[in-house]
Structure 1
Amino acid sequence: MKKLLSPLFLGITAIAFIIISCAKSDDAPIYDAAAQFKTDSVALKNYVSQKYPDAQYNSETGIWYKILAEGTGNYQYKIVDTLNAKAFKVNPTVKYTGRLLNGSIFDQTETDKTASFELLTNTGYNYPFESTLIPAWTFAFAPKKIGDVDLGGLTEKGLQKGAKIHIMAPSKFCYGNRAVGPIPANSPLDFVIEVVDIK
């Protein structure tokens, strides 16, 4: 009898858990990316007008930015083919600071240290497909165009060695509706990125 009740009890428990889980998910709000982008746009416009009124606006992405230093490098961004998609690839070394719009720092390179990574991204306004970086960084690094391929970058030549850029991006091009460590879901973010080297 005990052997028969254990599987029966487990089965009933599992069914109850599924019903409760379904009920909770039906009550969960549906994420509306367009509505969130509008909310972020208002928040960023207010933030920029109060703190950085000379920042420029990229209407294709909703990213605000300011070039703090042009850089002296002459890196040539190139298009690479990756299974029928066009992409660009870059290996920068940077110093950076990331902030929430309330001013709190959520990440930064340590004093006298740098961070290096590989950025491989598809073209246009879609999310990168092989990158550990958020899309906002892709737009910061990418040139506007390479040949006749529109990359949607913020600058003509892309970031060069010695360049320093301040970007303020909507959550769509940051972590979206995911909370990541100290970053709440749906957070527009503020970054200052200094390019120590690029290859």
Structure 2
Amino acid sequence: MRAFILLLFISQLSFFSVYAQCEDCAPTTEDIDYCFTDARFGIRCAQFIEKSDYFIFSTKKSKSYKLPIIKEGENHVDYLLTQITEKTAKLSAIDVLFLEVALETWNVEKTKIGFDFTDSGLGIKILEQGNGDIPAKGDEIVVHYKGMLENGEVFDSSYDRGTPLTFPIGVGRVIDGWDEGLTSIPVGTKAILRIPPEIGYGERSIGRIPANSTLYFEVELIDIVD
């Protein structure tokens, strides 16, 4: 019952705005990627590290705690509720509410880390920098790719088929996010393209891709065909 009440209250909180700023957080020597604070919960802070299995929680009146990021599919509310009675954490019910909102926000924000964004909303994260030519509009290019939804589900992969895709770039043969992204990187580059629905499939549902999806494509620009 208590968990149900907390979840109900959390759902109501989604109508309010939240903000992130590290200046209200306790000092740490950790390399922090994202800080979450929310005035509705007083002076509380959650600090997240992209490639870590824990995050840091602190309040004005307590020391900092390292709490684990639980495995995908497990319920963070259930875990946090058990921590209310744990001597190591001493979390209050308000702490749990704050942390649940913080974790929900982090699950969205962590997908944006490391990307450079263009005016269209396209995000490009370079994994391996190439040193070849940058394709121009109309060039025939060879690309290996893996397409993923925001939850990590793979919906298409040329790697699985063992055959890269060859097509002319910049002429509307693919979604706008691909046309823009693949004319922005040189041959030999491996990158992740974060493509919002406006330059993806928009309101269309395509196969395993729901309508209004933000998509992630791991791409490898192999060659420009002469």
TM-score (norm 1): 0.54
Question: SS at the partner of 2:209?
Answer: coil
Q: Which runs of 5+ in 1 are unaligned?
A: 1-44, 78-87, 122-130, 143-157
- Matched position secondary structure for 1:50: helix
Letter in 1 for 2:109: S
Residue 113 of structure 1 and its aligned partner are, at CA, apart by 2.2
Cα distance in 2 for partners of 1:164, 1:180 equals 25
- 183, 186, 209: which one aligns with 1:160: 186
Alignment equivalent of 1:71, drawn from 130, 134, 145: 130
1:46–1:63 Cα change, 3 Å: farther
Q: Which runs of 4+ in 1 moved over 3 A?
A: 45-48
Give the gaps of 5 or more residues in structure 2.
Answer: 1-104
Corresponding position: 1:179 with 2:170: no
Q: Of the candidates 129, 137, 140, which is equivalent to residue 181 of structure 2?
A: 140
**1:61 offset after TM fit, Å?**
0.9
Paired residue for 2:169, among 111, 119, 124? 119
Contact persistence 1:48–1:55 (CA under 8 A): no
Q: Which residue does the alignment assign to 1:54?
A: 114
SS in 1 for 2:110: helix
Q: Please give the secondary structure, in 1, of the residue aligned with 2:155.
A: strand
Question: What per-residue deviation string (whole Å, max 9, x for no partner) do you get for residues 102-150 of structure 1?
Answer: 11001111344211111243xxxxxxxxx221000011022xxxxxxxx
Superposed CA offset, 1:4-46 (max 9, x none) = xxxxxxxxxxxxxxxxxxxxxxxxxxxxxxxxxxxxxxxxx96
Distance in 2, Cα, partners of 1:196 & 1:114: 9
Residue 173 of structure 1, CA deviation: 0.5
Secondary structure of the corresponding residue to residue 160 of structure 1: coil
Question: Which residue does the alignment assign to 2:52?
Answer: none
Q: CA offsets per residue over residues 147-177 of structure 1, 9 Å max, x none? A: xxxxxxxxxxx32221111111110111111
Maintained 8 Å contact 1:47/1:101: no
Distance (Å, rounded) in 2 between the aligned partners of 1:56 and 1:74: 20
Across the two proteins, how many residue pairs are aligned to each other?
120
Q: Are the structure 2 counterparts of residues 119 and 109 from structure 1 closer, same or farther at C-alpha, using a change threshold of 3 Å?
A: same
Alignment partners' CA distance in 2, 1:105 and 1:54: 21
Highest relative contact order (Cα 8 Å, sep 6+), 1 or 2? 1
| CA shift for structure 1 position 51 | 4.0
State the AA in 2 paired with 1:185. A
2:146, 2:159 within 8 Å by CA — same for their partners in 1?
A: no
Contact 1:160 1:198 (8 Å CA) reproduced: no
Compare the two structures and name the one with the higher strand fraction: 1
